[in-house]
Structures are given as C-alpha cells and as structure tokens.
Amino acid sequence: MKVRENRILKAMREGRKAYGYNLVFPSPWVVEVLGYEDFDFVWIDGEHGPWGLDQVEEVCRVAAQVGITPVARVPDIGSSTILRYLDRGVQGVMGPHIATKADAEQLVSACYFGPDGDRSFGGNRGTDYDFIPSDEKVQYYKDSNANMLVGALLEDKAVIEELDGILEVKGIDYMSIGHNDFAQSIGYPGDSDNPEVQDQMNLIYDRIRAAGGKVAADIMVTDWVHAMLRRGGQEILKTK
C-alpha cells in the first residue's frame, strides 16, 4: 500500500514554494472546483472554522481525488485531537499555541508513528482502513512519517523567552506566528500592525531562520477562499 505523497514536502525538496488555499468553512465542492487548477494543498482551519470530523474527512477524500494535500490547523495539540484529524486523512498538522519546548514535543509526538512519535494506528481512512499487508506495515509507518508535515503556530508572549527550546525539537518542518493572538498577548489587542508587535515578530522570524528553521512564507503561498470569493465579487460589481 503506497502512502500518498505530500505535495508541500515535495515542493520543499525541489526548492520551490507550494501553492494552496485556506478553508474556514466546510466545502468539498470548493476543493473539487479548484481541483481544475494546479494547487498543491488545501489548508483546513479546524480551530476557528465550523468543522465536524465527518466534514474534514469528506474534504480529505475530495482532496485525494483531485490530487492535492490536505493540511489542518487543529483545535488543540492533544494526542486524541490530532489523531482524529490524521485518521480522517490529513497529511499535515499545524498545532496552535506552541509556547514552550514541551508543547513542541507534544505536537511532534502526536503527529508521527514510532520511533519518531507515538501516533496510534487505527483502521480508518487515514491509514487506508488497515488494508496493508503485514510484511509492509513497517515501511508504511516510515512512509507515513516521511509524508507528514508538522507546523508550529507561535501565538503567545512566552515564545519570546521559550523559542530556543522550541527550536531544539526535531520534527517540526516550519513555524508561523498567529499575529492577532501574539499582539494581544504582548499588550496590543487588535493592533497587530503596531511597530512593537512587528518588531517582535520579525525578531522571532530572524531567530527561527538563524537556527536553520523555516517560516510559512519560506515554503508556501496561500490565500483564504473567502477572500478569493470576495475579490471575485468585487470585480463583478465594478462593472455596474
């Protein structure tokens, strides 16, 4: 049984950026329609969007049909939460509120099979319903790990002091900053454009890159589907 290739990781290996779009709301039809374009991934907002697990699975199913990689921001980094997303077929996880080394270790542990983590194996869609010959399962675990994308979302003031520890954790492919929550955490609620917030964010990004890590802007180009729809509507209204 062959594990589907993660197109974001493939793009990283090829030295290019991956292109995708973010879904706040459940819609397999959006994924199907945009399947006519050559996107690399769909990013599911499972933290703030109204997603049920059955809806996550349906989007993952359509993503597989059109040949793109499903990635999700999960509601929290608990092992059982992440496992439910992986069992639906998600091949990338962004963990929210990674503020300490322990948070980063928990995220990694939940995303990977052993020996890299402690992800549980179940007979669900994310593990091909366990239709895997017994003599191929060891390799299947390895291939699944090799095609798992792990992102850490830094959103808390504690990151300023804890970042070095976070950067020591192996298995995180990229990091990003949740600018709204980060701004609030350092005393600027609703003001992520404040120069102090921007300076702190740029310092964090510089430290990540200096340590050999990557940030989201280094590896992907993405936009929100609802923003894409609004821009399309605005173009139509310009003709009135």
Residues 193-215: pLDDT tens digits? 999 999 999 999 999 999 999 99
Return the structure tokens found at 207: 């430290």
Contact 20, 44 (CB under 8 A): no
How many CB atoms are located within 10 Å of the residue 214 CB? 17
Residue 48 is among the residues annotated as catalytic for this protein: yes
Classify burial at 182, counting beta carbons within 10 Å of its beta carbon; exposed 0-12, middle 13-18, buried 19 or more: buried
Sole residue written with tokens 């992102």 = 151
Whole-number Å distance between alpha carbons of 45 and 72: 6
Contact 198, 177 (CB under 8 A): no
Closest CA to 5 of 84, 78, 70: 70
- Domains of the chain (ranges; CATH) run 7-237 (3.20.20.60)
Contact 132, 96 (CB under 8 A): no
Whole-number Å distance between alpha carbons of 90 and 183: 29
- Per-residue pLDDT, 75: 98
**pLDDT tens for residues 132-170?**
999 999 999 999 999 999 999 999 999 999 999 999 999
- Per-residue pLDDT, 239: 85
Q: Give me the phi and psi of 174, to 5 degrees please.
A: -160, 165
Whole-number Å distance between alpha carbons of 172 and 97: 14
pTM of the model: 0.95
233 CB contacts (<8 Å, ≥6 apart)?
none
Closest CA to 90 of 119, 131, 50: 119
Binned at pLDDT 50, 70 and 90, residue 240 comes out as: confident
In angstroms, the Cα distances linking 138 to 9, 88, 90 are: 21, 21, 20
- Per-residue pLDDT, 131: 95
**pLDDT tens for residues 7-63?**
999 999 999 999 999 999 999 999 999 999 999 999 999 999 999 999 999 999 999
For residue 1, pLDDT over 80 is answered with no
Average pLDDT, the chain: 97
Whole-number Å distance between alpha carbons of 152 and 8: 15
Closest CA to 70 of 16, 30, 123, 114: 30
